[in-house]
Structure 1
Amino acid sequence: MMSDLTANLQEIASNAKAWPFAEARALASRLDKMGDAKDEVLFETGYGPSGLPHIGTFGEVVRTTMVRHAFESLTGRKTRLICFSDDMDGFRKIPDNVPNHEMLTAYLHKPLTKVKDPFGTAPSFGEHNNLRLQAFLDSFGFQYEFMSSTDCYLGGKFDSALLRVLEHYDAIMNIMLPTLGPERQATYSPFFPICPDSGKVLQAKVIHCNTSAGTITYIDPDSGAEREVSVTGGQCKLQWKCDWAMRWYALGVDYEMSGKDLIDSVTQSSKITRALGGTPPAGISYELFLDANGEKISKSKGNGLSVEDWLRYGSPESLSLFMYGQPKRAKRLHFDVIPKTVDEYYQHLGKLSSQDNVEQLENPLWHIHSGLPNQAGLPVSFTLLLNLAAVCHAEDPQIVWAYVSDYAGDIDPKTHAELDRMIGYAVNYYQDMVRPYKTYRLAEAAEAVHLEALKSQLVALADDSGAEDIQSVVYATGKAAEYENLRDWFKCLYEVLLGQSEGPRMGSFFALYGREKSIQLIDDALAGKLVQTADHG
C-alpha cells in the first residue's frame, strides 16, 4: 500500500533530487532574497501564435506545471500559471502547414489578431491558434489562466509599463545596440509603431521620445514622413526582447522556462527588466526537441510529432513522461519513442507501491500526476500488445482482446478499461506505423533447422509452462545452434516470424500469442506463407 506523504511532504521535498524540486528550491531562494511575500507566486509560459501550436508548446506547459506543483509542495505558497500568447506580434512569415497562402500574403506584417484565419473558423489567425492551444491544454486538465497580448495592449493593462519603457528608453538602447549589427543598429527601437493607415507593425526608425506626452516620433518607412504616436493604448508594440522584459515587469512574473535557443534573449530581457526596476524570473533553459532527421521542430515547418499524433498511439500520461525526462538534453521526438515511453510509464507505476516517501518524490509519476496516481498496471507490456496486434493483423481491438483474455484469465474491456485503452492505441499504431512497413524474409537453410528445433522444444513443453519456461527454451535453442552472438538468433526470429528488425522478449510473446498459435507461426514461416501474405498485402 502506498504511503501517505502529506505529513512530512515539505521536509522531504527540501532534499528531493528530482529536477522540478531543484527548480522549486531555486525559485524559493530567489523570492527569499527579494523579501517577496506577495499572496501568489506567478508562473508563466509564453507562446507565439505565428504557427499552429506544436508539441514543444505542450512540453513547456507540462514542465512548468511540474515545477509549480513541486514549489507548492515545498513552500505551501499559492501560485498562478499564466499561458501568455504574443498574438499582437507582426505576421512576418506564412507557415508551410496552413492553407490559403495567397490570401495570407495581403496580411503580412499585420498583428496576428488582424490576420484573416486561413481555416475560416475564428475571427483571426491569431485567435484560431489561441483556441487550438487552449483546447489541447484543457484536454490535459491543466490549471492555467490564458492571457492575450492584444487584450493587454488594447485594454491598457500594459500602459504604465510601456510608459516606464519610454522613460528608460536610452538605458534599453544601450543594452540592445551592442548586440546588433550595424544595419539593424541604424533603425532599431524598442517600440514598433502600428501604422494607422495599413495596420502593419512597423520596424521604423524612432527620432524622438516625449516622456511627458507618452509619445514617440518615427519616420514612416513608406512615405518618409515624420509621425508622432502614443506608446499606450495599443498604438505601439514592443520589440520581442523588450516586450518579454516588459511583461515580466508588468505582471510580476516569478518563474518562466524557455528553450535553449532563447538563452541570449533571456540574457538581454533580464537586463531590460532590471533597467525597468524589476527582477527577472527564475527559470530553466531546456533543450529543443528534434524530428526524426535531427532537425529542430518548427511551428512554421510543421515537422515532428503533433500532440494529436502522440495521442493516437499513446496515452496523455506517456507524453507527459516523455516531457519529464532530462529537460536539458536534446531528444528526438518521433513515432518510435511512443511504445517505449508507454512501457516506461507502467514500469514507474509498478514501482510506486513498494517505494518509500523519499523514493516516491523521485518517481516521475508523482510529478506527472501532481501527486500519487490512482491507476492499475497492465498484465502485459504495451510492446507485447503491439507485437500481438502485428502478428494477428489486428483490424479491431477485439482480435487482440481474444488473445489477452486467454492469456490473463477472466478479463474484458469493462473490467479492465486501462488495458482496453492500451489495446486501442496498439491497434492504431500497428495499422498506421507497422503494417505499411512490415517485411518478412524466408529463413536461410541453417536458420530453418534451428526453427524446427525450436518448434520441437515448444511442442515438448508441459501444458502449464509459462513465459519464463518458454524463454529458457528459446535461449537454449539459440545456444545449441552455436550462434557467436545470440542477438543474431533473436534477430532471425524477429525478421522471419514478425517481419521486423526488432521485437519483444520471445518467451513472453509466445506465451501471450499461445503455444499452439506460436508453433503454427513457425510452420507458416518455414512454408513461406508469411512472405506470401505480406507480398499480397
Structure 2
Amino acid sequence: MSPSDATPIEITPELADSAQRSKAWPFEEARKIVARIGRAPAPPAEVVFETGYGPSGLPHIGTFGEVARTTMVRTAFRVLTGDAVPTRLICFSDDMDGLRKVPDNVPNREMMTGYLDQPLTSVPDPFGDHDSFGAHNNARLRRFLDRFGFDYEFQSATETYRAGRFDAMLLKMLEAYDEVMAIMLPSLREERRETYSPFLPLSPTTGAVLQVPILERKLDAGAIVYRDPETDKLVEQPVTGGGVKCQWKADWALRWAALGVDYEMSGKDLIDSVRLSNRICKLLGGEPPEGFNYELFLDETGQKISKSKGNGLTIEEWLTYASPE
C-alpha cells in the first residue's frame, strides 16, 4: 500500500509544526520509527506496522483497541514525515493455532469439543455462516475494522504458511534450532521443557496441531522427525509448505523477520514474550520491531478479557451504549 492508497491526510504547515512539537504518545512512538529508518543503511521502501490477532474466540474491544492504537502511531508517523514514506498496516490472524478450549459464548459447544487441537481454520463454524470457526472470527474482525474505516491488509496464518511465504524463514529456524531452544527452555516450566519445540507439526493422520518432542532434524531435507502420538510411528515432515506452524514466541519472531515488521504494540502481559521473540528474530537475521506495551482491558472481576474465555465486551455490544467516537 502506498501513501496514495491510504486515507489521504492533509498536512498543513500548522499541522506539521504542531506534530513536530507534540509530546502526545503516538508522536513519541512515531519518532522511534523515524529514528529507526534514520539508522538504516538505505531509505526503506516502506514501513510496516503490524497487529496480531488470535481468532480462538469472538473479537472483543481489546482487539479493536490494538488496531486503533497502532493506527494512531501510523498516522502520527505519516504526519511527521510528510507522508513521504509508504506505510502498510498488516492485521495478522493466527488462525492456524489449535483450538485449546471451546469458548463459553458460542453455540454448538458440544460439537466443537470434538475438534480440540485442530487448526481454527479446520474447526467447523458453530454459527453455520462460514467454512470454519477461524473464518467466522476473521470475518467478524474485518467487518468491524471496515465499519470504522481502517486502512489495513489482512493476512491469514493458514494461507501464509501453506502458500510458502514463511518457508525461507522456517528453514532458517531449522538451522538455528539449537540456539532457539537455548533461548526458550530457561523460560519454561520443567515439565514443558520435555516436549517443547519451536515447531508444531500438523499430524498427517488427524490434522491436529501437535506439541511433541522433535527427535531429529534433517537440514538437507528441510524436515523434522517426531513420533506421531496416534500411530506411535516415526514421521519425517517438511517444515515448509504448511507441514508445521511455529510455537507462539518463535512464530512471532518468524513473522517479524519474514514480513519486515517495523512496529508492533502489545499488552503489558507480553513484555517477557517480546524480549524472547526479539532474540529469536535476530537469530533469523531480522531486526526486531519498535513497540510499546499498553494496559489491558479487564472484566468485572479484574481478570484479563480473553477471546477463548468469552469474557470480553464486543464492539457490537459497546456500540449499543456509546457512539463510534
TM-score by length of structure 2 reads 0.93
* 1:65 equivalenced with 2:67 (yes/no): no
Q: Please name the residue that 1:110 is paired with.
A: 118
Match of 2:131 among 107, 120, 123: 123
Q: Please name the residue that 1:26 is paired with.
A: 32
Match of 2:58 among 49, 52, 55: 52
Whole-angstrom CA distance in 1 between matches of 2:132 and 2:126: 8
Deviation at 1:293, TM superposition (A): 3.1
User: What amino acid is aligned across from residue 190 of structure 2 in structure 1?
Assistant: P
Q: Please name the residue that 1:289 is paired with.
A: 297
Q: Please name the residue that 1:298 is paired with.
A: 306
Whole-angstrom CA distance in 1 between matches of 2:309 and 2:248: 21
* Number of equivalenced pairs: 314
Asked whether the equivalents of residues 37 and 44 of structure 2 are also in contact (C-alpha less than 8 Å), the reply is no
Match of 2:92 among 71, 84, 106: 84
Whole-angstrom CA distance in 2 between matches of 1:304 and 1:217: 40
Asked whether the equivalents of residues 258 and 285 of structure 1 are also in contact (C-alpha less than 8 Å), the reply is yes
Deviation at 1:306, TM superposition (A): 1.8
* 1:242 equivalenced with 2:250 (yes/no): yes
Asked whether the equivalents of residues 91 and 110 of structure 1 are also in contact (C-alpha less than 8 Å), the reply is yes
Q: Please name the residue that 2:266 is paired with.
A: 258
Deviation at 1:292, TM superposition (A): 3.0
CA displacement 1:8-44 (0-9 Å, x = unmatched): 5444323311100010001211222233522210000
Q: Which one scores higher on RCO, CA 8 angstroms, separation ≥ 6?
A: 2
Whole-angstrom CA distance in 2 between matches of 1:306 and 1:131: 14
Q: Which has the higher strand share?
A: 2
Asked whether the equivalents of residues 97 and 300 of structure 1 are also in contact (C-alpha less than 8 Å), the reply is no
User: What amino acid is aligned across from residue 197 of structure 2 in structure 1?
Assistant: S
Q: Secondary structure at the match of 1:228?
A: strand
* 1:171 equivalenced with 2:179 (yes/no): yes
* 1:315 equivalenced with 2:323 (yes/no): yes
Q: Please name the residue that 1:41 is paired with.
A: 47
Report % sequence identity.
Answer: 62
Q: Please name the residue that 2:203 is paired with.
A: 195
Asked whether the equivalents of residues 297 and 305 of structure 2 are also in contact (C-alpha less than 8 Å), the reply is yes
Asked whether the equivalents of residues 292 and 304 of structure 1 are also in contact (C-alpha less than 8 Å), the reply is no
Alignment of 1:198-217 (within 5 A): 198-217=206-225
Whole-angstrom CA distance in 2 between matches of 1:179 and 1:34: 32
Deviation at 1:161, TM superposition (A): 1.1
Distance 1:16 1:122, change over 3 A: same
Deviation at 1:295, TM superposition (A): 2.4
Whole-angstrom CA distance in 1 between matches of 2:128 and 2:59: 17
CA displacement 1:28-73 (0-9 Å, x = unmatched): 1122223352221000010000000011000000010000000011
Asked whether the equivalents of residues 216 and 228 of structure 1 are also in contact (C-alpha less than 8 Å), the reply is yes
| Aligned Cα root-mean-square deviation (Å) | 1.4
* 1:16 equivalenced with 2:12 (yes/no): no
Bigger radius of gyration among the two: 1
Distance 1:5 1:120, change over 3 A: closer
Q: Secondary structure at the match of 2:230?
A: coil
Whole-angstrom CA distance in 2 between matches of 1:22 and 1:161: 32
Q: Which has the higher helix share?
A: 1
* 1:7 equivalenced with 2:13 (yes/no): yes
The unaligned stretches of length 5 or more in structure 1 are 318-537
User: What amino acid is aligned across from residue 220 of structure 1 in structure 2?
Assistant: D
Whole-angstrom CA distance in 1 between matches of 2:94 and 2:311: 22
Deviation at 1:304, TM superposition (A): 4.2
Alignment of 1:270-289 (within 5 A): 270-289=278-297
The unaligned stretches of length 5 or more in structure 2 are 1-9
Q: Secondary structure at the match of 1:14?
A: helix
Whole-angstrom CA distance in 2 between matches of 1:303 and 1:188: 29
